[in-house]
Amino acid sequence: MKQVKRILFGMLFVFSLAGCSKAVDKPNDENEHESINGIELIFSESGGPTKSFMLEDADGDGGNPPSRIDTIFAQPNKQYSVVVKIFNIKNGVSKDLTATIQSQGVSHEFYFIPTKITAVIQKTDRDKNGYPIGIQSNWQFSAMGSGSILLKLMHKTALKGPNDGPNVGHSDIQISLPTIIK
């Protein structure tokens, strides 16, 4: 059997010389996903400091779970102007994808769903049809407490309406941010 294997292997080698290409040896980088693996929420208040909260999944989908989920700290009864930024981060280099989402505003909408805390959130930006996008919004928390904000980016090509619920379309982003109001 060993002899047979040796002969077969020899023939295989000769055959393989005829049919090999170079491209197969030089694959693309498996980590180079053109996907969202970084999110930043920037909170600003008139006359007050600007705070930034980050979410990151360094190795993209799969592998390890998201490597950074910041807790949102905010104060009650204050008006915050919130901007969401999304990124593709590779080897520490961030590529800002927010403009892409904005240009495809008719197909996207952000949702912010509070749990165990009360907040009034109003989206202030509009797409070409005059429907909300949610990259920019105004937030106001009514009382102290701790809970979470579920952040969703819904993708809804040809489905988007003026007052859609958070389940219309497919999820591009869905992650919960711990939130403390004090």
CB of 161 to other proteins, least distance (A): 12
Considering only the stretches 28-36, 43-51, 116-124, 132-140, report the one whose residues sit in contact with other proteins under the rule CB under 8 A: 28-36
Find the binding residues for other proteins in span 107-136 (CB under 8 A).
107
CB atoms within 10 A of CB 125: 14
Interatomic CA distance for residues 20 and 17, integer angstroms: 6
12 in helix, strand or coil?
Answer: helix
Interatomic CA distance for residues 1 and 72, integer angstroms: 67
Residue 101 burial class via C-beta count within 10 angstroms: exposed 0-12, middle 13-18, buried 19 and up: buried
Q: Considering only CA atoms, which of 182, 173, 181, 180 is closest in space to residue 55?
A: 173
Please identify, using beta-carbon distances, which residue of 46 and 64 lies nearer to other proteins. 64
Binding other proteins (rule: CB under 8 A), the pick from 47, 62, 130, 162 is: 62
Check: CB of residue 20 under 8 Å from CB of residue 65. no
Is there binding between residue 93 and other proteins (CB under 8 A)? Answer: no
Is there binding between residue 104 and other proteins (CB under 8 A)? Answer: yes
Considering only the stretches 22-30, 75-83, 119-127, 130-138, report the one whose residues sit in contact with other proteins under the rule CB under 8 A: 22-30
Considering only the stretches 58-66, 74-82, 126-134, 139-147, report the one whose residues sit in contact with other proteins under the rule CB under 8 A: 58-66
H, E, C per residue of 99-130: HHHHHCHHHEEEEEEEECCCEEEEECCECCCC
Considering only the stretches 45-53, 96-104, 114-122, 137-145, report the one whose residues sit in contact with other proteins under the rule CB under 8 A: 96-104
Check: CB of residue 149 under 8 Å from CB of residue 112. yes
Is there binding between residue 72 and other proteins (CB under 8 A)? Answer: no
Q: Which residues bind other proteins (CB under 8 A)?
A: 4-5, 8-9, 11-12, 15-16, 18-21, 23-31, 33-37, 39, 55, 57, 60-63, 65-66, 88, 91, 97, 100, 104, 107, 155-159, 167-175
